[in-house]
Copies of this chain bind each other. A is one copy, B any other.
């Protein structure tokens, strides 16, 4: 989150924090894990009314894109969602809405944007393959022209929210370059293979496409360069929001760890008065400030389409990914035994941090991406 929020943005932040505090506090994800239930759909619909997805949807389709700072505002929301390890499909749905708003035909927009904006429909984005660059570039799915339509084959890996989605946004490679499609979940040949996720508030799956036949109107935008640019923009939005979420996760875990070290006594002193702990915490806040700076810049650059947007998201991903895990891991350490119990909240924070570090491109993948962006 930026150091300078507008009044509207401060209101958005306050409203989001109040809403998730009331309707989906950290206890919600524990309850889901304990009961094996999924996220609360009713809460999602209420959230949609607050405009979470509408930020990316034009007014004519029920959104507020024209009057908001899309990615920057969504990053404010994402950071708040991170603070409670929220389990709804925020990023997936926002990205799909942005993609359809960007390149959809009037019919596609009219069909999908209103229900995405008002919480009636959910979307998932299928694009990753299995490689060291998984999640940071397209792979896994291939498209071929077939008559007037197209045929999809392959497996999209690490797809968030596929199991609950109504529509799949699919990025595929083809002989004509990148192609993107909107594929209904019930299309013949689509199969979802759920993965065991470390983050108990996420639903991740591999999505198999086994000769999935699509009519021409499934195509989203123009194949080739336009689709490649659209893909890049979708990835940037995803990363900007993921980093903002990671910042929220870390910030909150750091916050309650600070309370713990101030309140907890050992040897007649608050443990936060021991110099070794103080120095570790000093290093953590320093890297956390770095993560905040990088995440805020990423959101700003992506929103404004700045020339450094591609660089900015990879920088943010590497910094947020690595240090969130490292900081929260040490916060667990600082809690002593209690931090290792199921009943303590902190493991939900660390699960999300570790998960976010690895998904949508590991730090290593983004280091490689930065080298490519630098022309190396």
A residues contacting B by CB (< 8 A) are 274-276, 278-279
Contact = CB atoms under 8 A, between A and B. Distances in A.
Q: How many copies does the complex hold?
A: 2
Nearest to A278: B276
Contacts of A278: 276
Contacts of A276: 275-276, 278-279
Nearest to A273: B275
A284 to B, nearest CB: 14
A64 to B, nearest CB: 50
A278 B275 CA distance: 10
A275 B278 CA distance: 10
A266 to B, nearest CB: 12
Contacts of A279: 276
A274 B277 CA distance: 12
A274 B279 CA distance: 11
A317 B301 CA distance: 44
A276 B275 CA distance: 5
A262 to B, nearest CB: 17
Nearest to A277: B275
A334 to B, nearest CB: 13
Nearest to A282: B276
A316 B141 CA distance: 45
Q: What 3 pairs between A and B have smallest CB-CB spacing?
A: A275-B275, A276-B279, A275-B276
6 contacts: A274-B275, A275-B275, A275-B276, A276-B276, A276-B278, A276-B279
A215 B276 CA distance: 66
